[in-house]
Structure 1
Amino acid sequence: MSLNDLFDPDSIAVIGASKTPGKLGNDAMANAKEFDGPVYPVNPSGDGSVYGYDFVESVADTDADLALCCVPGPVTPEVIEECGEAGVGAAVVFAGGFAEAGGQGIELQADVQSIAEEYDIAVLGPNTAGHIIPHRHLFSSFVPGFDEIDSGDVAIAAQSGGVGVTATFQLDREGYGTAGMYGLGNRVNTDFDEVIPMLDDDSEVDAIALHIEGTDQIDSVIEAVEAASTPVVALKSGNEMEEFVQAHTAAPIQESERYERPFTNGGAVMADSLTELLDASRVLAQCPQADGPNVGLVTAQAGPGIMMADYLDERGVNFPELTEDTRERLDDILPGFTYDRNPVDTGRPMPEFGDVIDAVGRDDNVDIVLVYEIFEHSLGYPVEELEQLTADIDKPVVFTVAGPDAALSDDRDRMEDLGVATFDSPERGAYAASVLAETSR
């Protein structure tokens, strides 16, 4: 079985396509119409066209290699068999009522799996929100608004479609797109261990974010994480409430500890929340790898700086002494009421704030530069100084911003373009720096 038709199809069939707004087959077509290649709305009862595409009676009347199955669960095996006879190589099954429902649902999923294996079809799902790959204009989902998601550098592989959807829209709200979102659902024959290597090979993917409830392929998943050269961050949920978890994606109950040690030994990061999952993925995607765990913290406001220092200290992150050359340079820049050790605090934003960051960033004892500054209209952020600094040093720079979003957005975008990862609260910035420190060891 190959996942090529799932990741990079030439043509798409939407089986169960509909003209009726609000129906699954209409929502799927609304997203699929953004695809650059042929799209075939398949419905024997269809008349005319939908979104400019003429209905066809059967998938056999298409040359599709990816099928989006917008049909009820009980008829899904029949549809998968029709896809196999038509030469379709991959299918997305949105319907629920399979293994997660128990009883006949287990038999229904077994039928889908057997037919998919017979025809060598890669099935995403069932019980999935689908997948999107914005840089390929592929939006294989029924979720409204997914066709407006921009490309980014973090790919999300989520066992829960709801988690994948939530993560995608959170990245979108914060000004980032995604390199892909894959809702694995019940994982009939496409599990994490198949998806991770494909994402690792995708040049558009700079970090892989995993949401895991549980999988019978745990050893293969661990091997895939260990083999990946792309940074991996994982969030494990579903540690309790066995009946609730199994009624969701038919996942086996597995405690976080079963994943944590092998994942971290394999170079992955374990997150404790969805926001941590995305923040860790984003900072690893954007920033160069740190040579060590030593953080140089520069703040223009002592209160948030102390919070960040506390957060990092509790996680064992180092605050090295600055070199004598750096201290002398800071003494020339800073007024006497400031704190010029490490952390370095300027008291408030100042025209020379960029020079302070530059001095700390060039210090030989500093591996990671972490900054907190409130935006001031008269000063803006020190983008020019950061541009020169990031060009001269190969160190990660994390900048925590505060201020009116409309006012600071241009400078924030410019910093992001330089590879400076930006965050909007002291805890998120400190967490990102802790991830860089952890992955340097």
Structure 2
Amino acid sequence: MGISDLFDPQSIAVIGASATPGKLGNDAMANAKEFDGPVYPVNPSGDGTVYGYEFVDSVADTDADLALCCVPAPATPDVIEDCGRAGVGAAVVFAGGFAEAGEAGQTRQAEIRQTAEEYDIAVLGPNTAGHIIPHKNIFSSFVPGFDEIEQGDVAVVAQSGGIGVTATFQLEREGYGISGMYGLGNRVNTDFADVIPKLDEDPQTKAIGLHIEGTTEIDEFAEVVSDATTPIVALKSGNRMRDFVQAHTAAPNQTYERYEEILTANGGAMAGSVTELLDASRVLAKSPTPAGPNVGLVTAQAGPGIMMADYLAERGATFPELTAETQDQLDDLLLGFTYDENPVDTGRPMPEFGEVIDTVARDDNVDIVLVYEIFEHSLGYPIDELETLSAELDKPIVFTVAGPYDPLEPDRQRMEELGIPTFDAPERGAYATSVLVDSVR
């Protein structure tokens, strides 16, 4: 029982399930039906079936070990009591109206916490969008479309359901999927310190992205971050609008600097936006750990290359002088009007562009390779050379792409399969590279 039933349930009960489209209990069933094990729609007023599953009157009539609670806040304490008596080990409480909603809500939250402790139930929420684990076909959420999310290698743990949902759909739109999304909400008894160790053990999760407003268990948070071997990136919000935060997830007032200290002292990174949170998580998930902070930048267009070089230089990255051997090879490959120091600029895509990347990547002075190239139909991207490099070198390669979506997408997907993270704007590629630089400081 407990937290393991949240991550690996054998059966699921949807309490407050409904056959009426548009109701929360119907949306939750639409997602839960993808689960490979038994799913029980629980509603004493239900008649017949919903999505092919027969209604049952009570959670006591099931063998569920995970319950999705689709009932209003006032009914939730009794539902959690029913779950405890029925042997349910974990519950997801979607409803708001608890600690964030004044004295009556605080009392309700205290009631469900006490009952959960009595029966050893791990409660996700209340006030949550739920959680999904696509590689296990667990879609414990009422959010339409979550049942279509593909698996990836980044997990997102968010206090805000809205941030968790936004991050999940952004990863999906950009073609990456997600290893899991966990909406903590009000954290009645399931907090960062409970979820991070489980994700650290998960072979599908290669990086963990956190959205933080604040937690009363900050010492426990610091301990699990210190113990984790999986890279962790955090986005801390609610640093000024304290009343707004209190009305959202009832999070305590804590400084950005406290979380920054915890993360950076343990090899983690801080992000300034949802996009940065995901980009940093992706590059850390895909890339080998660099041997040092030295960046070799190869561009087929000088303007974006200058932007990326400026960004990285301002953040302390170094651009080492290339070896004499590398310089000789580049002199043979490049035209006279190009820039053949580091950064290396070819002026435009060229048939030898892959050879240029290969030459720079193999330079002993280079720890991280960053590339910018506009897609040209006659050339594509240098997939053959990149495949060889990814197999023979244990160095991060970050590729920034530009061009029309349909023609470049097959090459971009192949790069991702090779372990080369791709980004669609100069600043995104540069930021991701800066995260790799910071990871070895």
Judge same fold: TM > 0.5, yes or no.
yes
Gapped regions of structure 2 (runs ≥ 5): none
Partner AA of 1:317 in structure 2: A
Partner AA of 2:362 in structure 1: R
| Residues 123 and 188 in structure 1, CA contact (< 8 A), matched pair in contact too | yes
2: CA distance, partners of 1:137 / 1:232: 24
Identity of aligned residues (%): 75
Cα deviation code 1:260-310 (max 9, x no counterpart): 112100111011111100000000001111110000000000000000000
Report the equivalent of 2:414.
414
1: CA distance, partners of 2:224 / 2:274: 22
- Aligned-pair Cα RMSD in Å: 0.6
Report the equivalent of 2:206.
206
| Residues 399 and 420 in structure 2, CA contact (< 8 A), matched pair in contact too | yes
1:4-403 equivalences in 2 (<5 Å): 4-403=4-403
Report the equivalent of 2:3.
3
2: CA distance, partners of 1:301 / 1:240: 40
| Residues 15 and 67 in structure 2, CA contact (< 8 A), matched pair in contact too | yes
2: CA distance, partners of 1:65 / 1:408: 45
2: CA distance, partners of 1:389 / 1:19: 54
Q: CA deviation at 1:372?
A: 0.2
Partner AA of 1:429 in structure 2: G
Secondary structure at 1:67 match in 2: strand
2: CA distance, partners of 1:336 / 1:239: 52
| Residues 399 and 421 in structure 1, CA contact (< 8 A), matched pair in contact too | yes
2: CA distance, partners of 1:64 / 1:392: 49
Cα deviation code 1:58-81 (max 9, x no counterpart): 000000000000000001010000
Cα deviation code 1:137-180 (max 9, x no counterpart): 00000000000000000000000000000000000110010000
Q: CA deviation at 1:102?
A: 1.2
Partner AA of 1:23 in structure 2: K
User: Does residue 439 of the first structure (1) align with residue 434 of the second (2)?
Assistant: no
Q: CA deviation at 1:132?
A: 0.1
1: CA distance, partners of 2:422 / 2:241: 37
For normalisation by structure 1, the TM-score amounts to 0.99
> Which portions of structure 1, spanning 4 or more consecutive aligned residues, are displaced by more than 4 angstroms?
none
Q: CA deviation at 1:241?
A: 1.6
Q: CA deviation at 1:21?
A: 0.4
| Residues 240 and 253 in structure 1, CA contact (< 8 A), matched pair in contact too | no
2: CA distance, partners of 1:275 / 1:219: 28
2: CA distance, partners of 1:292 / 1:115: 51
Secondary structure at 1:103 match in 2: helix
2: CA distance, partners of 1:255 / 1:275: 22
Q: CA deviation at 1:10?
A: 0.1
Count the aligned residue pairs.
Answer: 441
Partner AA of 1:383 in structure 2: I
Partner AA of 2:388 in structure 1: Q
1: CA distance, partners of 2:388 / 2:82: 59
Q: CA deviation at 1:384?
A: 0.2
Partner AA of 2:422 in structure 1: T
2: CA distance, partners of 1:191 / 1:161: 14
Q: CA deviation at 1:2?
A: 3.2
2: CA distance, partners of 1:77 / 1:160: 22
Gapped regions of structure 1 (runs ≥ 5): none
| Residues 296 and 360 in structure 2, CA contact (< 8 A), matched pair in contact too | yes
For normalisation by structure 2, the TM-score amounts to 0.99
Partner AA of 2:211 in structure 1: H
